[in-house]
Amino acid sequence: MKTGKKGLLTRRQTLHGLGGAGLGVAMTGLGAPGLRAQTNRPIRFLNGETGKDTLAFFEAAAREYQEMTGIEVIIDSVPLGESFTKITNGIRSGNPYDIANVGFIGHVLLLAEEGHIVPLNELTDQHEWGNNILFPIDEKVYWYPFDYNLALIYYRKDLYDSLGLSIPTTWAGFLNNVEKTAEGRRHGALFPIGSNGATNWMSFGFMWAEGVKIFDDDWNVVLDNAEMQPKAAAYLDMMAQLYPHMPRGALQASYSDVLSNLVAGSVTHGAYAGRVIEAAHRDNPEMAANLDVMPYMDSDGTQTAVSHGYDGWVVLDTDNTDPAMEFMRWLTGPKMVEFLHTAPVHFQPARLDLYDNDQWRDNELIKQYSGMVETMRNLVTDDSVVLTSIDTQGPAPDVRPGKVFESFVLPEMLQNRILKEMDASEAVEMAAARIRELTK
């Protein structure tokens, strides 16, 4: 499949490459972008953040905005995984949303290529941002990232202190700490290995730290070349050593399983974003005080990584785009901190100015877990930290990494090594061959 400038696929190339599955299904047959003519109609906002406090914020914000401007804002809230289907159904039906929450850069790419969203540079250019978050396409930024959802390694700092353990910088050191902190029914780690999104997000940070790449700068699959294959195979062998220290059910483990095990203290190491500390603070404050975070590490102590995650908003090209942009100026301006405070640690700011914003810092959770927050900040500003994920691999925004993500090729590679006891190099070769087939 050939790409245009900066890896952006043309409409025909995108739909041909995706065929009748995955991302392409939702985009097939969409109409032309709307004309900007109608005024004073309600702004339709699709929200994908369904936490209780966030829902209450949007309800209040919509009411406040209508009182202030006379323009009604209709908030529809769905789980984030359902948002893209809602977006495309709205476009297809001729009743599109004006603003929508997205959590997958491949969806932004497809909407931009189809001409259904507008650039947001007027909102993004005025700020400094953390690493690898804007994903510009021909210097145009088509979304407003409001947070990072980095997969970080949580660990029990109380056990580290009592056992005299230090933060590991190598896989061997990590495996040692996993073994030392396990006792009785308390397991040393939980990193999912099933064919699901949790595995995609939580379990490959060690591989990114080792320097593994799926694609080169020309979109050739290099996972099994002479440089990458030994690194990827070493990662698989390390995960095979880690697996016996996990509780039963790692194959089926989901996001919620990892979160609940960390909060309950059933495991001593596991990956997640800031939601863990918020849940622990609410449900098990003693455990919250005993948790801290660290990045993934490589085999020899030379590099660290975090697994990328993110959320943001897009503005659709409709007959109501101008009023929608006015609402976005208000939401991302005077209301931004209030929104972020609805999940103060989990909604890690993508905008760097917010970390020094007095209003943002004046929050109970941010104050109490300031050390953790500062670690998270450093991980998105330190250029030596690898900040990547399956869906952001490659030299530029593109649908191909998204296809690898959605096909669960890499979780299956893990399963081949751990469950089927396949030779690690053979498992890497099999995964690379599958990726070539998916992305040709």
Query: What does the DSSP assignment read for 309-324?
Result: -EEEEEEB-STTHHHH
Taking residues 64-69, report their average pLDDT.
98
Tens of pLDDT, residue by residue over 162-201, are: 999 999 999 999 999 999 999 999 999 999 999 999 999 9
Question: Domain check: are 92 and 231 in the same one?
Answer: no
Question: Domain check: are 299 and 348 in the same one?
Answer: no
The answer as to whether 170 is a domain residue is: yes
User: Distances from the Cα of 396 to the Cαs of 122, 127, 219, 354, 407, in angstroms?
Assistant: 22, 22, 9, 27, 20
Give the span between the Cα atoms of 11 and 112, in whole angstroms.
10
What is the three-class DSSP state of 45? strand
Question: Domain check: are 249 and 210 in the same one?
Answer: yes
User: Distances from the Cα of 426 to the Cαs of 25, 194, 280, 390, in angstroms?
Assistant: 33, 19, 41, 20
The answer as to whether 402 is a domain residue is: no
Tens of pLDDT, residue by residue over 287-332, are: 999 999 999 999 999 999 999 999 999 999 999 999 999 999 999 9
**348-349 and 291-294 as β-strands: parallel, antiparallel, unpaired?**
unpaired
Q: Are 425 and 223 in contact (CB under 8 A)?
A: no
User: Distances from the Cα of 236 to the Cαs of 100, 105, 210, 419, in angstroms?
Assistant: 38, 27, 11, 11
Residue 391 structure tokens: 């869906």
Question: Domain check: are 40 and 185 in the same one?
Answer: no
For the chain, the average pLDDT equals: 92
The answer as to whether 389 is a domain residue is: no
Taking residues 131-156, report their average pLDDT.
97
Taking residues 406-430, report their average pLDDT.
98
The answer as to whether 391 is a domain residue is: no
Q: Are 236 and 413 in contact (CB under 8 A)?
A: yes
The answer as to whether 128 is a domain residue is: yes
Tens of pLDDT, residue by residue over 329-359, are: 999 999 999 999 999 999 999 999 999 999 9
Residue 33 has pLDDT above 90, yes or no: no
The answer as to whether 242 is a domain residue is: yes
Taking residues 236-248, report their average pLDDT.
98
Residue 3 has pLDDT above 50, yes or no: no
Tens of pLDDT, residue by residue over 213-235, are: 999 999 999 999 999 999 999 99
Angle at 267 between CA 348 and CA 346, to 5 degrees: 10
Question: Domain check: are 337 and 371 in the same one?
Answer: yes
The answer as to whether 287 is a domain residue is: yes
Q: What percent of the chain has pLDDT over 90?
A: 89
For the chain, what is the domain count?
A: 2
Q: Which of 330, 362, 379 is the last residue of a domain?
A: 379
Residue 275 structure tokens: 């939601």
The answer as to whether 395 is a domain residue is: no
Question: Domain check: are 67 and 196 in the same one?
Answer: no
Question: Domain check: are 270 and 162 in the same one?
Answer: yes
Give the span between the Cα atoms of 316 and 135, in whole angstroms.
17
Question: Domain check: are 156 and 132 in the same one?
Answer: no
What is the three-class DSSP state of 49? coil
DSSP collapsed to 3 states, 271-288: EECCHHHHHHHHHCHHHH
Question: Domain check: are 224 and 183 in the same one?
Answer: yes
Question: Domain check: are 176 and 90 in the same one?
Answer: no
Q: Which domain holds residue 299?
A: 152-307+408-439
What is the three-class DSSP state of 106? helix
Which amino acid, one-letter code, is at 384? S
Give the span between the Cα atoms of 139 and 141, in whole angstroms.
7
Q: Are 345 and 366 in contact (CB under 8 A)?
A: yes
Taking residues 377-404, report their average pLDDT.
96
Check which CATH number belongs to the domain holding 63 and give it: 3.40.190.10
Question: Domain check: are 302 and 425 in the same one?
Answer: yes
Question: Domain check: are 136 and 91 in the same one?
Answer: yes
Tens of pLDDT, residue by residue over 76-127, are: 999 999 999 999 999 999 999 999 999 999 999 999 999 999 999 999 999 9
Q: How high is the pLDDT of residue 249?
A: 86
10's CB contacts (< 8 A; 6+ apart) are 4, 113
Which amino acid, one-letter code, is at 70? G
Q: How high is the pLDDT of residue 11?
A: 28
pTM of the model: 0.90
User: Distances from the Cα of 435 to the Cαs of 2, 398, 405, in angstroms?
Assistant: 16, 14, 10
Tens of pLDDT, residue by residue over 247-302, are: 998 889 999 999 999 999 999 999 999 999 999 999 999 999 999 999 999 999 99
